[in-house]
A and B are shown apart, each in its own frame.
Chain A
Amino acid sequence: DAGITQSPRHKVTETGTPVTLRCHQTENHRYMYWYRQDPGHGLRLIHYSYGVKDTDKGEVSDGYSVSRSKTEDFLLTLESATSSQTSVYFCAISDRASGNEQFFGPGTRLTVL
């Protein structure tokens, strides 16, 4: 199994509070991704990174920001959490630009009250 951990695994927070989710990898993979998974919507890309300090937006990036100061860590921040951001968040990593296989972390279940 690829070495990917996510923390926390579960979090309950209140509307308006900032929240940071962490993804840590031990595989030295170049690419890292944050997805959210919701019933009826499948997996949707929030942000991704193609190297240290190199990030870009995915299809549902509004209300989220990311940072990658080290190869192994990719942080997802909800600046001011809203109930619509209640979801399961997955981090993924990959290391090939073609025929791309992504390895996923175990997920973080976030509830915004």
Chain B
Amino acid sequence: TQLLEQSPQFLSIQEGENLTVYCNSSSVFSSLQWYRQEPGEGPVLLVTVVTGGEVKKLKRLTFQFGDARKDSSLHITAAQPGDTGLYLCAGPADSGGSNYKLTFGKGTLLTVNP
């Protein structure tokens, strides 16, 4: 199983600040996904990136897939309390194998204080 490392593990910031969280691997991934999980709920998909160097924007969130497809980042501009949650990256569990199994990073727990 391919492994994903996320950093930082915890992040606490004030409303209005910018932040970046990272998802790294020593393996090449055909695609990576980012999920957000709010307390007491299941994860919800935010975005899928599939092309090396790809940048996708979702309102104040910007996702980037590394050129070598081994890493990804999530940048949030002007964070709001509603952005609070656990951010998880995920990718296919088996290199060259089927893509219906995912491996997840351990996540970054973001707290945005008013």
B-binding residues in A (CB < 8 A): 31, 33, 40-45, 48, 50, 58-59, 90, 92, 94, 96-107
Q: Which residue of B lies closest to A91 (CB)?
A: B42
**Contacts A59-B1, A90-B42, A104-B43 hold; do A43 and B100 have CB atoms under 8 A apart?**
no
15 A–B contacts, CB within 8 A, in A order = A33-B101, A40-B106, A42-B106, A45-B93, A45-B102, A50-B100, A59-B1, A92-B42, A97-B98, A98-B30, A100-B100, A101-B45, A102-B102, A106-B40, A107-B41
Instruction: Please tell me if B78 contacts chain A, counting CB pairs below 8 Å.
Output: no
List, in ascending order, chain B residues with CB within 8 A of A59's CB.
1
List, in ascending order, chain B residues with CB within 8 A of A107's CB.
40-42
Q: Which residue of A lies closest to B91 (CB)?
A: A100
List, in ascending order, chain A residues with CB within 8 A of B103's CB.
45
Q: Are A104 and B104 in contact (CB under 8 A)?
A: no
- How many residues of B are in contact with the other chain, CB < 8 A? 26
List, in ascending order, chain B residues with CB within 8 A of A100's CB.
33, 92, 99-100, 102
Q: Are A43 and B104 in contact (CB under 8 A)?
A: yes
Q: Are B41 and A106 in contact (CB under 8 A)?
A: yes
Looking at the assembled complex, report how far the CB atom of B43 sits from the nearest CB atom of chain A, in whole angstroms. 5
**Contacts A31-B100, A45-B101, A94-B100 hold; do A99 and B42 have CB atoms under 8 A apart?**
no
Instruction: Please tell me if B25 contacts chain A, counting CB pairs below 8 Å.
Output: no
Looking at the assembled complex, report how far the CB atom of B48 sits from the nearest CB atom of chain A, in whole angstroms. 6
Instruction: Please tell me if B68 contacts chain A, counting CB pairs below 8 Å.
Output: no
**Contacts A90-B42, A97-B98, A107-B42 hold; do A43 and B48 have CB atoms under 8 A apart?**
no
List, in ascending order, chain A residues with CB within 8 A of B42's CB.
90, 92, 104-107
Cα distance, A42 to B105, chains bound together (Å): 7
**Contacts A42-B88, A42-B105 hold; do A97 and B100 have CB atoms under 8 A apart?**
yes
Query: B25-53: contact bitstring with A at CB < 8 Å (1 yes, 0 no)?
Result: 00000110100000011111100101000
Q: Are B48 and A97 in contact (CB under 8 A)?
A: no
